[in-house]
A and B are shown apart, each in its own frame.
Chain A
Amino acid sequence: MYQTTYHRASSVDEAASLFAKGSEAKFLAGGQTLLPVMKQRLASPSDVIDLGKIKELIGVEASGDMLTVKAATPHYDVATSEAAKKTIPALAYLASLIGDPAVRYRGTIGGSIANNDPAADYPAALLALGATVKTSKRSIAAEDFFQGLFTTALEDGEIITAVSFPVPAKAGYAKMRHPASRFALTAVFVAQTKSGEIRVAATGASQSGVMRIPAIEAALKANWSPSALDNVSIPASGLLADIHGTAEYRANLVKVMAQRAVTAAG
């Protein structure tokens, strides 16, 4: 009952048609989320369609004011990409903090955002940078893509092909690592767009997944400096609480990580 059929797709179209043929098919990218879940027998797809070897899904490219990370690009490639480091160093830095080396060599941006773990790193960057998620069917604004814990706008069989990040004027990321999993206990991405908009997103904090922090955005709009946040108070209600951090602690971290992200952004 836990048997599955593995397919290695060589193009996005082939992956989509393989998916349509399976009764309960699943896409596989780095497998860093899907495979542990299958091993625990919490998922039992009829077919596993590997996107990881599709050439058109791998790579990081900068052109004009846009940095594009293709969906099956592993975190390690983003962390070490010259294009990323030049245009959005905060994004390369974020990728370098994901999990451990094994996870970074295999895990991908597409898998990460498709999974939308409330403590994952990338969703904060997508939201703060105002990124666009490109799929086999359409383009989705980050704002609309993330829809709460482990929920996204993706339809059945829809394949993420890339994420396009507008290059910001400034950006910074600060992460307090979860001591056991190394996901974000709470992490904050701050960005100043080239048009002067301030966008701040926090991950790991909220019970409803990645979120913008309007109070911090407003304070930074008035004064782009860590001290501008000294008197901002983040309410603990609605925040996650577990053995590694109370809601009050996470509320504190939202502010402290935002301050450090601003310092990092310069």
Chain B
Amino acid sequence: MGVEGIGARVVRKEDKRFITGKGRYVDDIKLLGMTHAHFIRSPHAHAKVKKIDSSAALKMPGVVAVLTGQELVDDKVGNLICGWAITSKDGSPMKMGAWPAMAPETVRFVGQAVAVVIADSKNLARDAAEAVLVDYEELPAVADVQTAIKSGAPQLHPEAPGNQVYDWVIGDEGATDAAFAKAANVVKLDVTNNRLAPNAMEPRAAIADYDAAEEHFTLYTTSQNPHVARLVLSAFYNIAPEHKLRVIAPDVGGGFGSKIFIYPEEMVALWASKKVGRPVKWTGDRTEAFLTDAHGRDHVTHAEMAFDANNKITGLKVKTYANFGAYMSLFSSSVPTYLYATLLSGQYNIPAIHAEVVGVYTNTTPVDAYRGAGRPEASYLIERLMETAARQLKVDPAQLRRTNFITQFPHQTPVIMAYDTGDFNASLDAAMKAIDYAGFAARKAQAKSQGKLRGIGVSCYIEACGIAPSKAVGSLGAGVGLWESAEVRVNPVGTIEILTGSHSHGQGHETTFCQLVAERLGIPISQVSIVHGDTDKVQFGMGTYGSRSAAVGLTAILKAMEKMESKAKKIAAHALEASEADIVIENGEFKVTGTDKAIALPMVALAAYTAHNLPDGMEPGLKESAFYDPTNFTFPAGAYICELEVDPGTGKTSFVNFVAADDFGRLINPMIVEGQVHGGLAQGIGQALLEHAIYDANGQPVTASFMDYSMPRADDLPSFNLSHTTTLCPGNPLGIKGCGEAGAIGASAAVINAITDAIGNNNLEMPATPDRVWRTIHAA
């Protein structure tokens, strides 16, 4: 309904402030008497903290305090938690070492904080930090999983012998073995999923303000889920009871998962603000972001796929080692298990799957959810396997996929997920048509005559998002429910505020959420505002990650809207002396259907608040709330095809074309969806070609700045060719599946499949840097 309703390409409301530099980020906030924190971080990957001497620093100008990990322990501030309990195959719970917000005894990764200087300015804090003498005793360190699991490897935590967090399995091992025993062909593949640094544009920051009179804390923080932050800080970290802690996440400049977690710096800032009696601000710099923002991916996997004589997949076996870094971050345990192995069926009918995942500690930055979280790793594995299989079985890769596509829905996979709907042939058709798949051979020959190696690569991804049904995740070990909340407040003059537990840090909620209201009431989006990110303003909610804000958050808004509309219709019917059943809402008016009798929304609202003439027994006011708990995950899926050329002289890859045909269910704002896909594809391509967070054998980070860590730039990327095929999600009333992560999930395999096709050698790991590609060409 209306030009700004569902499906309209409405320009983003929030961009005016972002583009004109009027965004209000944590670092923009200044409080009276504010102090500044500078953390003293370990230069060693593994060491004992023997002594911290802050006597010289304390004498320096402007220094308010130097606080250490031991004082945190003394004040009984809790250790960081991991909120998803995973059980190993032997029935034992996962084995976790303690993670104090500042290390009192042992540091286990470069960048782990041991102390904090609080001073009158940022520079004074930094100056004083150089005068704090920390005496370390270095310990042997280990950075990669293969070394960490060997006997005799340096040990991180006494609680986790052999550096093993868990050894978890899913699927039916017997059935899978039986399938392999009967297989006509078996395809094997070893892949590494490279570690990534998330690199949101805005580094993390926090301001903590303790009010001694009220014994109340306010925390401004760069969070994707301020309510969860408050819950965790209160229930587990012993900072303050919930009603004495307000968490505000104002404008946040990107998160990609890395701002889901509650980090040591926020905890320390809160605790320190009470200790020093003044507000404490910390703003991380880019180096700190590289060292301390939770990294993503970092898997080493061996997989085998069994086929029958008709090229139908009969079984899949996977063994993955997941590098967790030095500590278990908030949701880390779920990423390589329930967010990864449950997607190993891909878009295919696979009767038997068995996967084993070993979680491993190393002396590196903790690893947790990063855009896609487990699903990119699953999709990359399956789609490289399919391409490898097609080459080995000598069939067209697109055809092999079609032979195995799931076409009947709902479909129960052998790894928990029940796909509700989809049309995988439709997206593959659309992508093949868009890229002129049939004409590829001729283009390849043409490129060859110009000395270029041309390749094409397909990736048919499926993911599970709209997370998640609370009961289901609870039964799998999650410590939280994953519903969402909403409140609709109609003001006395008829403008509307929507309070949502979701959080926007780039997604455009302030526009898309208004579009639902515009659709239902026929009013312009300028009449609606979205309120989020402040635990004092908004009811408890779960935040934004896992492409959940539309499928779950917007559905909660819909539920609240329905309640509000129902009450408003009663008021309108009463005023118009009509039957409630005859009232329809059009263009901001409540009309008696088939007549010209109508009352405008502002008049209905005014009636609700003046309460002079309401139906008997009706409460005044027009404000409703709802909690929505999804019944299933949603399953966006699609087909990506990449065509590229490799320069054999340099190994450099150039894109010729990249097509993405996605099925996201209903689109609220296609322009915003395209932006999400562009960003996701950039991250997927970044992983495939450029990005890699590297440690040397001693756990020293090698890529802690943009001079070494290759972020994708616009000219590294092709101009994307996007399209959509649609099957509506049956699980929510709006039919939405979600689009936030798809690009990052599906793109990497398409790129690597295309490069390995171009160079005729499948033995290539990400990132496929020119150097690696050139060496692979010349190793062949």
Contact = CB atoms under 8 A, between A and B. Distances in A.
Interface residues of A, number: 19
B649 A245 contact: no
A113 B127 CA distance: 32
A181 interface: yes
Interface string A214-255: 000000000000000000000000000001111011001100
Contacts of A256: 649-650
Interface of A: 1-2, 41, 176, 179-181, 185, 243-246, 248-249, 252-253, 256, 259-260
Interface of B: 123, 126-127, 130, 649-652, 690, 692, 694, 702-703, 706-711, 716, 769-771, 774-775
A18 B49 CA distance: 46
Nearest to A241: B771
B650 A180 contact: no
Given A179-B710, A181-B708, A253-B650, A243 B770 contact: no
Contact of B650 (A1, A176, A243, A244): A176
A249 B771 contact: yes
Nearest to B706: A180
Contacts of A181: 706-708
B690 A179 contact: yes
Contacts of B123: 2
A2 B769 contact: no
Contacts of B651: 249
Given A2-B127, A176-B652, A252 B708 contact: no
Contacts of A185: 770
A114 to B, nearest CB: 19
Given A41-B126, A244-B710, 19 more contacts: A2-B123, A2-B127, A176-B650, A179-B710, A179-B716, A179-B769, A179-B770, A181-B706, A185-B770, A243-B702, A245-B769, A245-B770, A246-B771, A246-B775, A249-B651, A249-B774, A252-B649, A252-B650, A259-B649
A32 B153 CA distance: 43
5 contacts: A2-B127, A243-B702, A245-B770, A249-B770, A252-B649
A244 B711 contact: no
A176 B770 contact: yes
Residue among A181, A249, A259 facing the most chain B CB atoms (10 A cut-off): A249
Q: Is the interface of B mostly helix, strand, loop or mixed?
A: loop
Contact of B775 (A1, A249, A260): A249
A252 B130 CA distance: 44
A245 B774 CA distance: 10
Given A244-B769, A249-B775, A180 B649 contact: no
Which of B651, B707, B708, B771 has most A Cβ within 10 Å? Answer: B771
A244 B127 contact: no
B700 to A, nearest CB: 12
B31 to A, nearest CB: 25
Given A2-B123, A2-B127, A179-B690, A244 B771 contact: yes
Contact of B771 (A1, A245, A260): A245
Query: Ordered nearest first, which 10 A-B pairs have the shortest CB separation?
Result: A180-B710, A256-B649, A179-B710, A249-B771, A181-B707, A245-B771, A180-B708, A179-B690, A243-B694, A176-B650
Contacts of B707: 180-181
A188 B231 CA distance: 58
A256 B706 CA distance: 27
B61 to A, nearest CB: 11
Nearest to B696: A243
A180 B709 contact: yes
A252 B127 contact: no
B671 to A, nearest CB: 27
Given A176-B770, A179-B690, A243 B127 contact: no
B118 to A, nearest CB: 19
A185 B650 CA distance: 11
Contacts of A244: 708, 710, 769, 771
A179 B651 CA distance: 13
Contact of B774 (A243, A252, A260): A252
B393 to A, nearest CB: 34
A118 to B, nearest CB: 13
Contacts of B652: 176
B290 to A, nearest CB: 12
Contact of A243 (B703, B711, B716, B775): B703
A1 B708 contact: no
Contacts of B710: 179-180, 244
A1 B770 contact: no
Contacts of B711: 180
Nearest to A246: B771
A256 B710 CA distance: 23
Contacts of A2: 123, 127
Contacts of B690: 179-180
Nearest to B692: A243
B62 to A, nearest CB: 13
Contacts of B694: 243
Contacts of A179: 690, 710, 716, 769-770
Among A1, A180, A256, the most chain B Cβ lie within 10 Å of the Cβ of A180
Among B650, B706, B708, B716, the most chain A Cβ lie within 10 Å of the Cβ of: B650
A2 B692 CA distance: 33
A185 B123 CA distance: 35
B122 to A, nearest CB: 12
A249 B779 CA distance: 12
A245 B770 CA distance: 8
